[in-house]
Amino acid sequence: MERRSRCGALIRYIPHMRARLWIAIVWCCGCASWLPAPEPMRAVDVEIPGPRARCLMVFLPGGGNRAESFVQHGFVDEVLAHHYSIDMVAADATLGYYARGVVTERLALDVIIRRARRGYSEVWLVGPSLGGLGTLLYSRQRPSREVNGVFALAPFLGSDRAVFQQIELAGGLHQWQAPARSEPTASDYTWELWRWLQAVTAGREPGPDLYLAYGRSDRLADEDALLADALPRTHVFVGDGGHDWTTWRMLFHEFLDRGPLRQHCGTIEAKAPVQRP
Could you tell me if residue 168 is inside a domain?
yes
196-216: b or e for each residue (b if 16 or more CB lie within 10 Å)? bbbbbbeeebebbebbbbbbe
Could you tell me if residue 271 is inside a domain?
yes
173-191: b or e for each residue (b if 16 or more CB lie within 10 Å)? beebebeeeeebebeebbb
Phi/psi at 272 (5° precision) = -70, 130
Of residues 94, 26, 97, the one with CA closest to residue 66 = 94
Could you tell me if residue 19 is inside a domain?
no
Question: Going by DSSP bridges, is the β-strand pair 55-59/122-128 parallel, antiparallel, or unpaired?
Answer: parallel
Number of Cβ within a 10 Å radius of residue 272: 8
How many Å apart are CA 254 and CA 102, to the nearest integer?
A: 32
Could you tell me if residue 229 is inside a domain?
yes
Of residues 154, 145, 155, 138, the one with CA closest to residue 58 = 138
- Return all residues near 150 (Cβ < 8 A) that are at least 6 apart: 124, 125, 126, 135, 136, 139, 208, 209, 210, 211
Domain extent, residue 255, equals 37-276
How many residues in the chain? Answer: 277
Could you tell me if residue 20 is inside a domain?
no
Could you tell me if residue 154 is inside a domain?
yes
Number of Cβ within a 10 Å radius of residue 269: 8
Q: State the helix-helix crossing angle for 161-170 and 221-228, rounded to 10 degrees.
A: 50
Could you tell me if residue 16 is inside a domain?
no
pLDDT at 271: 58
pLDDT at 6: 45
The H or E element that residue 128 is part of is strand 122-128
pLDDT at 192: 95
pLDDT at 32: 59
pLDDT digits (tens, 9 = 90+) for 145-193: 789 999 999 999 998 999 999 999 999 999 999 999 998 876 789 999 9
How many Å apart are CA 226 and CA 190, to the nearest integer?
A: 14
- How far CA 270 is from CA of 85, 228, 255, 258, in Å, comes to 10, 34, 20, 20
pLDDT at 50: 77
pTM of the full predicted structure? 0.88
Looking at residue 115, which CATH number applies to its domain? 3.40.50.1820
Could you tell me if residue 6 is inside a domain?
no
How many Å apart are CA 246 and CA 267, to the nearest integer?
A: 26
**Domains in the chain, number:** 1
- In this prediction, the residues of the chain whose per-residue pLDDT falls under 50 are 1-6, 8-17, 19, 21-22, 24-30
